[in-house]
């Protein structure tokens, strides 16, 4: 066999990269290390929370990846030695690599908001990693009485899935309007602007009247403390007592990135925009949410695009060739209602040491469009999810 490439993390970024590496010339030996036997995807998990979809549709296995020749090891990486090019697994075993690709996603910064620790997250779910947290938030909404106050606390940039909190607010509003119409939803935001804001706000007025209230940073949107026992969320401007509270805390690259020495003081991983190789540790590449990918948002679409570009670069580097400059695409779809989709798209390329947006490419859905247009975009969103998960896990 050729050079061994070890990929850490079997999410959109890592699983896609392992699959793409297997297709590269040069007879690479590819090992994917992931602690979970099944992957639970976040895209469309907001629809699960709103009762529009079941959790089964979010889960994917690694059988197809194994059949392509990737060695999938079910384990957690606990240490990385960049000098000897070796990763250590939880059970003490180790793996040598010629090049390492880290795709571990995010850790939630429990401790950033006073009162919001792991125990509080069991009462005030973040639901920002799909799985049990997703179902917890759903059950809390189902159990809530009509007339209750739902609060979503959204973090400052950068964070996983910039439009995600607002898609979530939309779909929860859809559920409340149908089932608990006297209820109200407040978004407490740690910033003054958000992704696709004009589209979301116009749609909220059109579909949900005054049900959703967005409180920006400058209006007192930033959380200063939470009290899980009373479900009280405090800001500089006062307190909100919620019936259901979804606290999305700040985030950073997952712990293994810190252990490998590839995260900087921001908590994220600086990379070369052509090869995705770490600026801090040679031989280690970082892709997906953990990376500082310049203007690219932290999305599954972006993670998959970075994974494929990184696989090409890694294959070129191990063969001693010059990697090509990549062009990467991202599209983020959001559902405002089951038959109402909106999107934002961009094209990115290396410029000035970062991934920069290509001027004039991409854009957002039109602010004025007939319902049929929004309905078609909702079908595109679903088609995108089927295509990306099929391409990686199918």
Residues 182-241 that bind ligand FAD (CB under 6 A): none
Task: Please state, in angstroms and rounded to a whole number, the distance separating the CA atoms of residues 273 and 257.
Answer: 18
* Residue span binding ligand FAD (CB under 6 A) among the ranges 2-10, 145-153, 221-229, 366-374: 2-10
CB of 22 to ligand FAD, least distance (A): 17
HSE (CB half, 13 Å, CA atoms) of 321? Answer: 11
CA distance 109 to 126: 11
Cα angle, residue 338 at apex, residues 132 and 155 outer, rounded to 5°: 50
Per-residue contact string for residues 130-149; x = within reach of ligand FAD by CB under 6 A: --------------------
Q: Does 160 bind ligand FAD (CB under 6 A)?
A: yes
How far apart, in Å, are the Cα atoms of 51 and each of 6, 102, 136, 244?
Answer: 38, 34, 12, 15
Under 8 Å between Cβ of 295 and 128: no
Cβ atoms within 10 A of the Cβ of 62, count?
A: 21
Contacts of 34 (CB under 8 A, 6+ apart): 8, 9, 10, 14, 15, 62, 72, 73, 74, 75
Binding to ligand FAD (CB under 6 A): which residues in 282-321?
A: 288-289, 298-301, 303
Exposure string of 151-172, with b = 16+ CB inside 10 Å and e = fewer, is bbbbbeebbbbbbbbbbbbbbb
Contact mark string toward ligand FAD, 86..105, x via CB under 6 A: -----------------xxx
Q: Are strands 212-215 and 184-189 parallel, antiparallel or unpaired?
A: parallel
- Token pair of 238 as six digits: 């006062």
Residue whose entry in the numeric block shows the structure tokens 């209006």:
219
Q: Which of 4, 31, 39, 153 binds ligand FAD (CB under 6 A)?
A: 39
CB of 129 to ligand FAD, least distance (A): 7
Q: Which stretch binds ligand FAD (CB under 6 A): 35-43, 205-213, 337-345, 364-372?
A: 35-43
Give the range of 156-164, 225-233, 278-286, 351-359 binding ligand FAD by CB under 6 A. 156-164
Say how far residue 30 (Cα) sits from the centre of its chain: 24
Interacting residue with ligand FAD among 5, 7, 28, 33 (CB under 6 A): 33
Question: How crowded is residue 114: how many other Cβ atoms within 10 Å of its Cβ?
Answer: 12
Which one of residues 45, 140, 195, 246 is an interface residue with ligand FAD (CB under 6 A)? 45
User: How many residues of this chain interact with ligand FAD, rule: CB under 6 A?
Assistant: 36
Instruction: Determine if 247 is a binding residue for ligand FAD (CB under 6 A).
Output: no
Q: Name which position in 6, 72, 150, 161 contacts ligand FAD (CB under 6 A).
A: 161
Select from 29-37, 196-204, 312-320, 336-344 the region that touches ligand FAD (CB under 6 A). Answer: 29-37
- Interface residues for ligand FAD in 329-358 (CB under 6 A)? 332-333
- For residue 239, the minimal CB distance to ligand FAD (Å) is 26
Contacting range for ligand FAD; rule: CB under 6 A; set: 112-120, 158-166, 208-216, 217-225:
158-166
Part of the chain binding ligand FAD (CB under 6 A), chosen from 31-39, 57-65, 112-120, 361-369:
31-39
Cβ contact 186:211 at 8 Å: no
| CA 123 – CA 73 distance, rounded (Å) | 33
Angstrom distances, CA of residue 226 to CA of 51, 119, 180 = 27, 12, 25
Of all residues in the shown chain, the one whose CB is closest to ligand FAD is 11
Contact pick of 5, 6, 7, 13 for ligand FAD (by CB under 6 A): 13
Which residues contact ligand FAD (rule: CB under 6 A)? 8-14, 33-36, 39, 42-43, 45-46, 76-77, 103-105, 128, 160-161, 164, 254, 256, 288-289, 298-301, 303, 332-333
């Amino acid at each position: 066999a050729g050079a061994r490439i070890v990929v850490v993390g079997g999410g959109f970024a890592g699983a896609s990269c392992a699959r793409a590496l297997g297709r590269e010339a040069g007879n690479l030996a590819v090992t994917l290390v992931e602690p979970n036997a099944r992957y639970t995807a976040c895209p469309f998990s907001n629809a699960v929370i709103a009762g529009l979809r079941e959790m089964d549709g979010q889960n994917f296995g690694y059988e197809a990846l194994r059949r392509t020749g990737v060695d999938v090891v079910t384990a957690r990486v606990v240490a990385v030695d960049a000098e000897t090019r070796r990763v250590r697994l939880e059970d003490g075993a180790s793996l040598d690599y010629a090049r390492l690709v880290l795709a571990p996603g995010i850790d939630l910064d429990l401790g950033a908001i006073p009162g919001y620790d792991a125990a509080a997250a069991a009462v005030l779910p973040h639901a920002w990693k799909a799985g049990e947290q997703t179902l917890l938030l759903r059950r809390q909404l189902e159990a809530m009485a009509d007339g209750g106050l739902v609060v979503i606390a959204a973090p400052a940039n950068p964070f996983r899935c910039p439009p995600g909190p607002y898609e979530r607010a939309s779909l929860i509003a859809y559920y409340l309007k149908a089932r608990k119409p006297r209820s109200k939803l407040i978004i407490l935001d740690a910033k003054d602007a958000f992704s696709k804001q004009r589209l979301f706000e116009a749609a909220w007025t059109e579909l949900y009247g005054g049900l959703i209230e967005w409180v920006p940073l400058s209006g007192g949107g930033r959380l200063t403390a939470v009290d899980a026992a009373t479900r009280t969320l405090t800001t500089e401007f006062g307190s909100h007592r919620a019936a259901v509270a979804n606290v999305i805390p700040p985030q950073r690259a997952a712990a293994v990135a810190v252990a490998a020495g590839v995260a900087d003081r921001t908590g994220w991983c600086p990379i070369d925009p052509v090869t995705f190789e770490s600026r801090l540790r040679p031989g280690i590449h970082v892709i997906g949410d953990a990376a500082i990918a310049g203007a690219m948002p932290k999305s599954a679409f972006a993670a998959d695009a970075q994974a494929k570009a990184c696989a090409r670069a890694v294959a070129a580097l191990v063969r001693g060739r010059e990697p090509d400059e990549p062009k990467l695409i991202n599209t983020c779809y959001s559902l405002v209602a089951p038959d109402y989709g909106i999107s934002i798209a961009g094209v990115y390329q290396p410029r000035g040491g970062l991934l920069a947006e290509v001027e004039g490419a991409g854009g957002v859905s039109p602010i004025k469009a007939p319902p049929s247009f929004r309905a078609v975009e909702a079908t595109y969103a679903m088609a995108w999810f089927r295509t990306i998960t099929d391409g990686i896990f199918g």
